[in-house]
Structure formats: structure tokens, C-alpha cells
Structure 1
Amino acid sequence: MNIYQHFRPEEREFIDQVFGWKEYVETSYSARLSDFLDPREQQIVKSFFGMQSEVKCDFFGGFEGAERQRALIYPDYMEATQNEFQITLFELEYAKKFVRIEHRQVLGSLMSLGLKRGKYGDILLAEEQVQFLAAAEVAEYVKLQLDSIGRAGISLKEIPLHRAVGQEERWHEVAVTISSMRLDVIVSALYNISRQKSQLYIQQGKAKVNWAAVENPSFMCGEGDVLSIRGLGRAKIVTVEGKTKKDKWRVIAGRKK
């Protein structure tokens, strides 16, 4: 069976990576730690490790409910602990009375350091507190290089993982029955807009799937995908329950603004 047929063509490189991780663990009898993965990547990794596998896989993103998580792949005779995920939590110190820092500013500043997105976990904001998670192997570099967010001067303080602030994200669960897993069909159903309007949003570059811009309305979505439509908010495909008797797809999703 060709494993690639179950995934998107653009995901082939990542699938090859996962194959490599599994092979490494099987041959070296030692653990392999990934970068931070988005929900879709986590879904792909999970599909490789069944209950009967001699190789196990756990996920952790620094706190319970983290969206971006590292995967730890290890032989079944080993025990995984949180320390093995090698995650550092930083909190920003800045002039809180005079400056407001937003999520996009933090991400932009982090990406300007020249590291790939996979080295960073979730960015957490709660009132005046701003935190982000990073892979421990780049923590010292980030601490030395990051001294401003936007126009605000900042310094970084490393704090224990248990002090991560709650996201307080409230997802509203919805169940939809749709004719296709095409992006335009799903956007239309989840955001309660017409198919024509959903196609327009996508073609105008306002749609993202797993944080990557998608301008093709016929793009096929799957379980674990996170959608973002500029001006309409975010949604995630939690479960694809299969087809109904009328050959429609039943999908459980989450919506938030």
C-alpha cells in the first residue's frame, strides 16, 4: 500500500521525516524529539503509531491544552517524562503601563531571529502578561537576540512551565454535514456564508490552512486542520466521522473569534 495516497502531495516531505524518525528509534533504540508541530502535523504523526507498534509517541507543548506540541518518539520499554520534551517558557518584561503587545508582533519578532517556526510553541497573552514557549536547544540564542517587540524594548525571563498563563480560548463545537471536504465547502458551512462568498475569501488570499495561505477553493481539508479566515476568525476540524447514507460528510468542528 502506498502510504502517500492518504495524505496531501505537499505533505510528502513531512511524511518522509516521520518515517525517518520511526526508523531511527527502531534501529538506535533511543528516543527522537521533534520540533513543535501544528495540529495537522500531530495528526499525521499519530497515524504512524498504532497500538501494536514497538515504537510509542507522546505529545507535549509545555502545558495542558497547548496547540503546538513536540512529539517524543521512543521505544515501548522507555518511559516519557515532561523534562524529555525540552521546552522553555519565557515571559516578557516590558513597560506595561505604556505599551500593548499583540500576538502577531511577538510572532513577527521571533521569526525575524532567523529560526524556523517549529522552534517556537504557543504564544500566550493574558491581560498584561505575554509569554511564549521555545525549544530548549534555541532558548539561550533567543534570550540573547530578542530585545524588542515592535517598538517596545523588552527583556526575557525564563519561568517554570507550571506558570504558563491560561489561554482562555473558548471553542464552540459545531456539527456540519457537507457534500465535500473542499475548502470552499467547509468555509461556507463553518462560517455560515454562501459558497460564492467563501470562494471569494479564498481567492483573495484571506484564507489559511494550518497557518499557510491557500488560494485554491478546491483544496482538500482533513481531520486536524486549523482554518483561519481574515475577519471571520478561526476554526478547526476536530473529527471527520465519515459519510452519511446520503453520501455526505459529517464533520465535528470548533469555532472561535
Structure 2
Amino acid sequence: MSIYNHFRKEELPFVERALEMLTLVERKQAMRLTDFLDPRQLAIMQSLTSQVHDVAVMPYGGFEGAERVRVIIHPAYFDPEPADFHLTLLHIGADQRFHRLEHRDVMGALLNAGLKREKFGDMLVDERGCYAVVADEVADFICSQVTHIHKTPVTFEKVEWESFEPPDEQYQEKTITVPSPRVDAVIGEVYHLSRAKALIPIRGGKVKVNWKVVDDPSSLLEAGDMVSLAGWGRFKLLDVAGPTKSGRIRMNIGLVT
């Protein structure tokens, strides 16, 4: 069976690029640094190391628990350092009295500035401030060119990693009840969509569970799953409680803010 049969069609271009990088490192015995990968891409990269010899991958996103990471592909004998990942931490200064910046606001501003998503990692927003992890090579451009997020004036300033304490995950918690843990039922309840309307984005490949496209509406969700619906946002299934008196399933979900 071909290695490609293990992956979805839309994942194959990344699989091919990852295999090329792994093979190049194996042949040249030289380190290679990727752009930022999401957790699904990282899992693919790690699984493909079985196709090469004496090659390892090391992920790092600037802090423990980072969701998006750069990966160093390196000969097994090499031991990368944090500086080898070429990450810059930017603090975003803004007057948030009238509009509180959210994760999607920061991401939208960077994309609108012409940056590719692969050039920036996690964006961290809480009451203490806003931060963005970016590739070194785009940090100066962001600091000089991104001056507003929506209509709010902002400044980007480089911060030393030693002074940074990442904020805790921020969720807007919500309790729902569903007839079953099927992905179409849960998405419909979370986003107030009928079962028929929930089927459209699922069948269209717009839904990801744990960063992997899920187009089968009967797929079952479990506690801990991260679910995203393109254009709507994402949520984490925090826990599944016992059934209600009517037999429905009670779930606690956390909308990512």
C-alpha cells in the first residue's frame, strides 16, 4: 500500500513537501527549518519520519503548549536550540476600552497585511495583553506596517522571551444537550443550525476535528476534541456529562475567544 493512501486528498501536497524535506535532510545531513505547522501537519510530519533513516523532527512554538510550531528536521545526532527556530515574540499595544481585541482580529490584521498564515504562530489574548509569535523574517515588517486592527491604532513591539508568561486558554463555556455525540448534532446545537444546514459545511470539508477534516456527519465527538467550522470559529468539547431525563446527552463546550 502506498504511503499516500493513509492521508486525505487535500493533505497530499503537504505530504509530498514533507517527504521532500525529510529526504533532503537524510541525503545532505543538514538541518532544515519549516514554516509554522498546525497540529495535524505536525502529526503528518512525525509519521513520515518512518520513511527515512537517522532523521528526527523537533517542534517548537516559543513556549510549552504552543499550538502552532516551527519544526527543525535534523540528523538524529544534532541537538537544536530554541534560537535555531528563529521565533520573535511581539507585544501588541492597543487601547481596548472600546473594542477588546480577539484572536481572529489579530490574525485578520496580519493576513490583510499580505502575510501568509505559515509565517505566524500562536496569537495570545487575555486581560494582561496581546501577543503574537512570528517568524523572525517578518517581524520588522509587522512592526512597521501593521498600525491598525479594525479601527483601533496598535503598536507591535519585540519582547524578550524570558519576560513572557503565556496566558491560560480562554474559553466562553456553554452547556448544551444533544441527541447524540455526532458531529452534525453537536455543531448544529453550538451554532444554532438545523441538522440540514449543519450538513452543508461538513460535506463541504469545512469542519475539522483536532485539525483534521471530517466530512462524515456521523463521526462521533469525544471529550477533549477541538472542533472548528470555517467562518464560524471553533470550540473545545470540555466534557460529556450523563444523560438528561429525556435521554439527551449533556455536554460542556468552550468557545475559543
TM-score tier (shorter): 0.7 to 0.9
CA contact (8 A) 1:38 1:210 kept: no
Q: Matches of residues 112-151 of structure 1 in structure 2 within 5 Å?
A: 112-151=112-151
Query: 1:165 aligned to 2:166?
Result: yes
TM norm structure 1: 0.74
Structure 2 gaps, min length 5: 174-180, 238-251
Mark the CA change 1:153 to 1:144 in structure 2 (over 3 Å): closer, same or farther: same
SS of equivalent to 1:43: helix
Structure 2 equivalent of residue 208 of structure 1: 207
Q: Which residue of structure 1 aligns with residue 241 of structure 2?
A: none
The Cα shift of 1:119 comes to 0.5
In the TM superposition, residue 187 of structure 1 has moved relative to its aligned partner by: 4.5
**1:97 Cα deviation (Å)?**
3.9
How far does the alpha carbon of each residue in 1:196-231 deviate from its partner, in whole angstroms, 9 at most, with x for none? Answer: 955532415795327999795569899x98422477
Shift of 1:39: 1.1
Aligned to 1:77: 77
**SS of match in other structure, 1:154:** strand
Return the letter of the residue paired with 2:208.
V
Q: Paired residue for 1:56? A: 56
Normalised to the residue count of structure 2, the TM-score between the two structures is: 0.74
More divergent stretch after superposition (19-28 vs 5-14): 19-28
**Cross-structure match for 2:254:** 256
Question: Which stretch of the first structure deviates more once superposed, 212-221 or 103-112?
Answer: 212-221
Change in Cα spacing, 1:5 to 1:203, as seen in structure 2 (3 Å) is: same
Partner in structure 2 of residue 16 of structure 1: 16
Residue 106 (1) aligns with residue 106 (2): yes
- C-alpha distance in 1, partners of 2:152/2:168? 23
How far apart, in 2, do the equivalents of 1:97 and 1:11 lie?
42
Distance in 1 (CA, whole Å) between partners of 2:18 and 2:81 is: 21
One-letter amino acid matched to 1:104: R
Asked if structure 2 preserves the Cα contact closer than 8 Å seen for 1:91 and 1:157, the reply is yes
Contact preservation (8 Å) 1:92, 1:157: yes
Distance 2:225 2:71 in 1: 17
Which amino acid letter does the alignment assign opposite residue 167 of structure 2? G
Mapping for residues 183-198 of structure 1, pairs under 5 Å? 185-188=182-185, 197-198=194-195
Q: State the one-letter code of the partner of 1:234.
A: F
Whole-Å separation in 2 of the counterparts to 1:220 and 1:168: 26
Counterpart residue type for residue 153 of structure 2? G
CA separation in 2, counterparts of 1:54 and 1:84?
20
Give the % identical residues. Answer: 29
Partner of 2:243: none
Deviation digits for residues 87-113 of structure 1, max 9, x if unmatched? 111011122444421221111100011
Corresponding letter in the other structure for 1:55: V
CA-atom RMSD, angstroms?
3.8
Q: How many residues align?
A: 226
Asked whether the 8 Å contact 1:87–1:136 carries over to 2, the reply is yes
For structure 1, the residue ranges without an aligned partner over 5 or more in a row are 173-183, 237-253
Shift of 1:42: 1.0
CA distance in 1, matches of 2:73, 2:8: 23
Instruction: Please give the alpha-carbon distance, in whole angstroms, between the structure 2 residues aligned to 1:219 and 1:30.
Output: 45
1:4-31 superposed Cα distances (whole Å, 9 cap, x missing partner): 1000011110001101110111122111
Aligned to 1:91: 91
> 1:94, 1:152 within 8 Å by CA — same for their partners in 2?
yes
Deviation at 1:128, TM superposition (A): 4.7
1:234 equivalent in alignment to 2:235: yes
